[in-house]
Amino acid sequence: MDLIKNDFIEFIKQRKSVRSFIYQKIDKETILNILEGARWAPSGNNSQPWRVCICIHPTVKRMVAELSKYGGIIEDAYVNLVIFLDLERGYDRVKDLQGIGAFMENILLGVHAKEDIGGVWIGEILNRKEEVNEIFKLPTDKFELMGIIAIGHIDDAREKVRSKERERRSIDEFTEWY
């Protein structure tokens, strides 16, 4: 059991944001499998307040990419999962956001579990969230953009080593024992 648990910590530690992709198809089954893991995320009251636009079409990708300074990543990714909070399903602002965070982390871990595939959470796009709603024809009073997870086959040659960004605070620094 402990061995499995240690493997799990290693698995979490090895996940990292991937921002360089080669163009190669990711099949529908793989995308569905990632979402299968995501939908088991916890949420307050089990409200499951997520809505996902699975964005693969180059024209749609470009429209989204134009709204972000990370547009290059969005365009290069084979698929972008555009995640909205379904405000009618939600019931408590803080808890809804926490549930969405759990959902999105499950996606990142699901992506990491696939060979040669990586992903990154793009939050910067929130600066233009209303325009993202327009692209997907979702009313802003019902759906609120939470972020995008860009997913693609990892381009090892272009992917930079970002050791500074991957540093983590020590446990001591953020804990107190009582």
Query: Does position 124 bind ligand FMN by CB under 6 A?
Result: yes
Indicate the SS3 state at residue 25.
coil
Taking the C-alpha atoms of residue 138 and residue 98, their distance in angstroms, rounded to an integer, is 22
Residue with tokens 């799990």: 8
Residue list 28-87, contact with ligand FMN (CB under 6 A):
70
Stretch that binds ligand FMN, among 46-54, 77-85, 117-125, 133-141 (CB under 6 A): 117-125
Let me know: does 88 contact 142? Beta carbons within 8 Å: yes
Instruction: Single out the segment in contact with ligand FMN by CB under 6 A; choices: 15-23, 31-39, 43-51, 134-142.
Output: 15-23
Residue 133 has φ and ψ, to the nearest 5°, of -55, -45
As measured in angstroms, the least distance from the Cβ of 125 to ligand FMN is 7
What mask, x for binding ligand FMN by CB under 6 A, covers residues 135 to 174?
A: ------------------------------xx--------
Residue 90 or 147: which CB sits closer to ligand FMN? Answer: 147
Beta-bridge partners for 119? 151
Distance of closest approach, residue 102 Cβ to ligand FMN, in angstroms: 12
Coil, helix or strand at residue 133 = helix
Task: With CB under 6 A as the rule, give the number of residues binding ligand FMN.
Answer: 11
Based on the shown chain and the rule CB under 6 A, indicate whether residue 10 belongs to the binding site for ligand FMN.
no
Indicate the SS3 state at residue 163. Answer: coil
| Collapsed DSSP state (helix, strand, coil) of residue 18 | coil
Residues facing 120 on adjacent strands: 150
Residues that bind ligand FMN (CB under 6 A): 16-17, 19, 70, 120-124, 165-166
